[in-house]
Amino acid sequence: MGRYLVRRLLQMIPILFGVSIVIFIIVHSTPGNPYAYMFGPKVDPAVKEKRLREMGFYDPLPIQYVRWLKQTVSGNLGYSVHSGVPVIDLLKSRIPNTLILTGSAFVLALVLAIPIGVISATRQYSWIDYTVTSFAFMGISLPSFFGALVAVYLLAVKWPVFPMNGITTPGEPFRLTDMLYHLVLPATSLALRDMAGFARYTRSSMLEILRQDYVRTARAKGLPERIVVYKHALRNGMIPIITLLGLSLPTLFGGTIIFESIFAWPGMGLLTIEAVSRRDYAILMSVNMFFALLVIIGNLIADILYAVADPRIRYA
Amino acid sequence: MKRFVVLILTTLMLVTAAAPALAARPEVKYPVTFNGHPVLFDVQPVNVNNRVFVPFRAIFEKMGADVRWDESTRTVTATRGDTTVQLVIGSTTARVNGQARTLDAAPFIQNGRTLVPLRFVSEAFGAEVTYDNATTAISIVDPNWPRRGGTLNLALWNKPAETFNPIIVDEVYADAIVSKVWDGLWRYDERVIPIPALAEAWEWDDTNTVLTFYLRKDVKFHDGTPFTAKDVIFTYKAIWHPRYLGPRNTGWDDVLGWEEYTKGLKGETPENFANGYVTPEGIEGLYALDDYTVVFKLKKPNAVFLESLAYGILDHTKYLNVPVQDFSTARDPNFMKLNGTGPFKLESYVEGQYYILTANKDYFLGAPYVDRIIYRVLDSNVAVGEMQRGTLDMVEFNATEYDAYKNLSNINIVEYPAMQYQYMGFNTVEGPTADKRVRQAIAYAINRDVIIQNIMLNHASALYTPIHPLTWAYTDEVEQYSFNPAKARELLDQAGWTVGPDGIRVKDGQRLRLRLVYPNEGNQARIRTAPVVQQMLKEVGIEVELVGYDFTTVSTKVFEEYDFDLYFIGMSLSIDPDPSDIFGRQAAETPGSFNGVRWWTPKSEDLLARAKATTDIAERTELYHEWQKHFADEMPAYFFYAPTALRATSKRLQNYQPGVQGDWWNIEEIWLSE
């Protein structure tokens, strides 16, 4: 297992390297540049060119790339082209926000989805199953922000129980309860989006497992149904969910742009959008590399969790 | 029409205010303040038997009273709440809630204004009046009106860029904050006339080339640093420094010594110059006579010069060691530490979430009535819900959202003409639209009325050239290209584009296919206009390819790469009508400036230059009328409409008077009724 892990981690280096080249080319070849409005319209073109030359704007892409790479490898993610703020500071302020929102939504989604999936599998074609199934299809078919807007309309406008948006009450010192209060609507509506899918996966996986011989054996030896389902069947039934979890890691950070925007929850999603619209190369590079890293790590985690869930899987 | 008059008055004021070059600071007799806020009169206060008389309308309106004038009985009636005050010209008997009171002197008419005794009318409404013998200043304080305090809740649709610096700020969200923290030398009042701010007076000399500002002596920055002439010189020199990276370095060519300064020949040591450091020492065209008198000297009269002097003034003592290229970046020690002179201070913020401004109780134009402003960064799609819930006091919205707001019972809707327009630019240099006849044909093929009615739902007015209907220079006596597809077809035929087999016109084997570049984000009405124009042009045999991009890409394609046949864009305008930043030659020949159509003609340049060189409003009007006719004939850009601005406000928001001066130009006098 240890050697496997080392090998996988080493493999990440060339992958990240390749990814960074692709991202660098894409980012720098989008039309528009961050310097376009840095200068007033009447700045002497010679002055403008001199300034841009100093900034290295006219250097060939490979040279710019090597400069970026050197800087990044030495731990400096660069500075926002517009504000000069270190990119690392922006990431530091945005990553926790996103993590709080998506993490709680994710946990909530799983806590709800797994029992629901199991119940609708064990009672296939019952009214519970039909209800869950139709609910799940609704969840999958409707655009993800729809639920959020409905939740806002009902619980923040029509019956104003929760705040409409924001992370904390402006101007008040940070209190955990205040943040949790603000978290209810966004986390729940985000959880509902993911829950539908998770529940469906759990259901189909459980349906398959429950028909397997070892489940029949467990029942035959007289184990209570609860133990059969939750201890013996569920452990195997979780394998596809684990895959899903690993693959969800990047969406945990990037898949919430609409939610962040509706709930005024400035996280990585909004940071990305802001950086794209201003063509802030330094931020864009860091954000994209961060997402790439998450994809790779997510896959690795999924692989490791397989081994945990399924004793037949061994890595060497 | 009202503004027409107003702007004429403005210019007349500038011209008639011209006095000898070394005139002393004008003495202000009987300056009146109400709750600390200056009250300005168009006829100066008059002392009769030790009673100061002032024009009634200005003082009553400042006190929040509704004023009626009855010509037949020559009676002024002012009502606020349950108090009614009646005054009759020439009569020493006044009535307060019906009860007769005797005045020491009767109201009278002077220069066409009715003057009333200041102390009497103020006290009738429960205000206290104090007179300062030394300065002749009169202070009216009404402890009960209006209501003080409260938090004004406002929204920003995007996180503001961190450009919290009045000479660097280049986008509306940051400017919402910057404009409340800093003041300029002057500002617009409700009549769109420049009135004193940091400068208590200014005057042009006889030649209209020397502009002297007399600065207030009682102004301090938020941290207590006194405001002086050095701050003004420093701020404008920073804008002129070639290392300056903001958007305000245009229109300074007429300042004496400006060119030498920008080339590093004068004004800074070579070392400072190379590194970007700015000093507050004067140059030929901008210098201090003393700590509180600043002079701008021009090479020739410039009608729009004063308008460019409204930028917020920086505290120079904080920037002496900051290179100008670093202003408002993380390398600037003043980054996110806002130190202005304005009515509000930045109290706290959380990046990307909210910005809290608190009232500057020592504001030199009087402490604001509200205590705090909270700006939250919100998605515009949830704004209607916030208004319904009552958690915002004002939002701006578009014509396409009108129905959603119309039905809310707890808001007011305010609609007013905005200094903006939306237009379609033509590539006048390359491609089929380089032919004037093709451009004219397109203009005839578009039905402007349909767009205004069906897309803007009539929340817009027509315009035909870049001269906005709100300005005095506007005329509609130009070729309006009223919808006429037959004429369009005829012009296209003349231009050699004949109808091909599939209905699309062809010339020399080339199809008449035009690329329309437009922003596919933001303004929904503009996005909806694109397919409508596509359909209208198809009717006359022109195929339009819709190419939607985000803003940054559109700007690059249009203003730098000129990669389009047609483009949509909107502009917000300054109050002076001079269009040369958008349709002048220099802008056409400088990539990155706003003349994306790259159109100019010798005739146009001549008219614009002459109009700028005179301050005679009648002469300027005539020149701009001629220019508009020329522009309409040349058709370098088709103007769709000038939108009206739409605002929803909470019912508690009082004295909110948005206009071309902005939403919050009178922020210190805005108050909340609950």
Which chain A residue is nearest to residue B374, measuring alpha carbons? A170
Higher pLDDT, A120 or B411: B411
User: With contacts defined as CB-CB under 8 Å, which chain A residues touch B246?
Assistant: 40
* pLDDT score at B8: 38
**Contact A264/B379, CB-based, under 8 Å?**
yes
Is B242 an 8 Å CB contact of chain A?
A: yes
Higher pLDDT, A126 or B342: B342
| Residue B104, helix vs strand vs coil | coil
Helix A176-210 to helix A87-122 angle (10° resolution) is: 40
Locate A136 and state its tokens: 């799940």
**Contact B389/A262, CB-based, under 8 Å?**
no
**Contact B376/A264, CB-based, under 8 Å?**
yes
Which of B465, B487, B470, B480 is CA-nearest to residue B637? B465
User: With contacts defined as CB-CB under 8 Å, which chain A residues touch B325?
Assistant: 51
Q: Distance (Å, rounded) from C-alpha B191 to C-alpha B251?
A: 25
**Contact A40/B161, CB-based, under 8 Å?**
no
**Contact B325/A262, CB-based, under 8 Å?**
no
Average pLDDT over residues A28-44: 68
B183-186 contacts at long range (C-beta below 8 A, 24 or more positions apart):
B183/B312, B183/B313, B183/B340, B183/B341, B183/B342, B183/B365, B184/B309, B184/B310, B184/B311, B184/B312, B184/B313, B185/B213, B185/B215, B185/B232, B185/B309, B185/B310, B185/B313, B186/B306, B186/B309, B186/B310
Which of B594, B343, B627 is CA-nearest to residue B477? B627
- For residue B382, give the nearest of A31, A44, A262 by CB distance: A262
- Per-residue pLDDT tens digits for A49-99: 777 787 777 888 899 999 999 988 888 888 887 778 899 999 998 999 999
The list of chain B residues with pLDDT below 70 reads 1-23
Interface test with A, best of B158, B254, B347, B350 (most A CBs within 10 A): B350
* pLDDT score at B664: 95
Buried b / exposed e along A218-250 (16+ C-beta atoms within 10 A) = bbeeeeeeeebbbebbbebbbbbbbbbbbebbb
Interface test with B, best of A91, A158, A164, A169 (most B CBs within 10 A): A164
* pLDDT score at B35: 96
The β-bridge relationship of strands B344-350 and B83-88 is unpaired
DSSP H helical ranges for B497-644 = 524-539, 551-555, 580-583, 585-589, 602-612, 617-634
> Residues of B numbered 526-565 whose beta carbons fall under 8 angstroms of chain A's beta carbons: which are they?
549-553, 555-557, 560-561
* pLDDT score at B19: 40
Higher pLDDT, A254 or B408: B408
DSSP letters, A284-307, are: HHHHHHHHHHHHHHHHHHHHHHHH
Helix A87-122 to helix A127-141 angle (10° resolution) is: 150
**Contact B352/A270, CB-based, under 8 Å?**
yes
Is B300 an 8 Å CB contact of chain A?
A: no
Average pLDDT of the residues of chain A: 86
**Contact A83/B162, CB-based, under 8 Å?**
yes
**Contact A266/B351, CB-based, under 8 Å?**
yes
Interface test with B, best of A27, A35, A37 (most B CBs within 10 A): A37
Interface test with B, best of A33, A80, A81, A83 (most B CBs within 10 A): A83
DSSP letters, B114-130, are: EEEEHHHHHHHTT-EEE
Which of B376, B343, B345 is CA-nearest to residue B358? B345
Distance from CA of A126 to the nearest CA of B (A): 39
Distance from CA of A170 to the nearest CA of B (A): 6
Q: Within 10 Å of residue B149's Cβ, how many Cβ atoms?
A: 11
Q: What are phi and psi of B543, to 5 degrees?
A: -95, 130
**Contact B249/A79, CB-based, under 8 Å?**
no
* pLDDT score at B459: 95
User: With contacts defined as CB-CB under 8 Å, which chain B residues touch A41?
Assistant: 247, 250, 581, 587, 590, 592-594
Is B107 an 8 Å CB contact of chain A?
A: no
> Residues of B numbered 383-412 whose beta carbons fall under 8 angstroms of chain A's beta carbons: which are they?
385-386, 388-389, 391
- Per-residue pLDDT tens digits for A91-109: 998 999 999 999 999 899 9
DSSP H helical ranges for B390-481 = 402-406, 436-445, 448-450
Distance from CA of A189 to the nearest CA of B (A): 15
* pLDDT score at B209: 93
- What's the one-letter identity of residue A182? H
Is B381 an 8 Å CB contact of chain A?
A: yes
State pTM to two decimals: 0.88
Average pLDDT over residues A152-177: 92
**Contact A86/B551, CB-based, under 8 Å?**
no
**Contact A171/B246, CB-based, under 8 Å?**
no
User: With contacts defined as CB-CB under 8 Å, which chain A residues touch B345?
Assistant: none
Distance from CA of B346 to the nearest CA of A (A): 12
Interface test with B, best of A38, A90, A165, A259 (most B CBs within 10 A): A165
In total, the C-beta contacts within 8 angstroms joining chain A to chain B are: 141
Helix H or strand E segment including B173: helix B172-181
Checking if the pLDDT of A232 tops 90, the result is no
- For residue A84, give the nearest of B330, B549, B551 by CB distance: B330
Locate A44 and state its tokens: 């002497």
Q: Within 10 Å of residue B17's Cβ, how many Cβ atoms?
A: 12
Interface test with B, best of A33, A43, A48 (most B CBs within 10 A): A43
* pLDDT score at B9: 39
Q: For chain A, what percent of residues have pLDDT higher than 90?
A: 28
User: With contacts defined as CB-CB under 8 Å, which chain B residues touch A82?
Assistant: 161-163
Checking if the pLDDT of A246 tops 80, the result is no
Q: Distance (Å, rounded) from C-alpha B319 to C-alpha B323?
A: 8
CA distances to B40, B51, B88, B143, B362 from B56, rounded to whole Å, are: 12, 14, 12, 21, 28
**Contact A165/B161, CB-based, under 8 Å?**
no
Q: What angle do CA B503, B505, B508 make, to 5 degrees?
A: 135
* pLDDT score at B281: 94
| Residue A173, helix vs strand vs coil | coil
**Contact B354/A171, CB-based, under 8 Å?**
yes
Q: What are phi and psi of A283, to 5 degrees?
A: -65, -45
* pLDDT score at A44: 64
Distance from CA of A76 to the nearest CA of B (A): 15
**Contact B388/A36, CB-based, under 8 Å?**
no
**Contact A167/B353, CB-based, under 8 Å?**
yes
Is B372 an 8 Å CB contact of chain A?
A: yes
> Residues of B numbered 248-277 whose beta carbons fall under 8 angstroms of chain A's beta carbons: which are they?
248-250, 262
Q: Distance (Å, rounded) from C-alpha B563 to C-alpha B515?
A: 9
Which chain B residue is nearest to residue A264, measuring alpha carbons? B378
**Residue B501 class from Cβ within 10 Å (0-12 exposed, 13-18 middle, 19+ buried)?**
exposed
Distance from CA of A150 to the nearest CA of B (A): 11
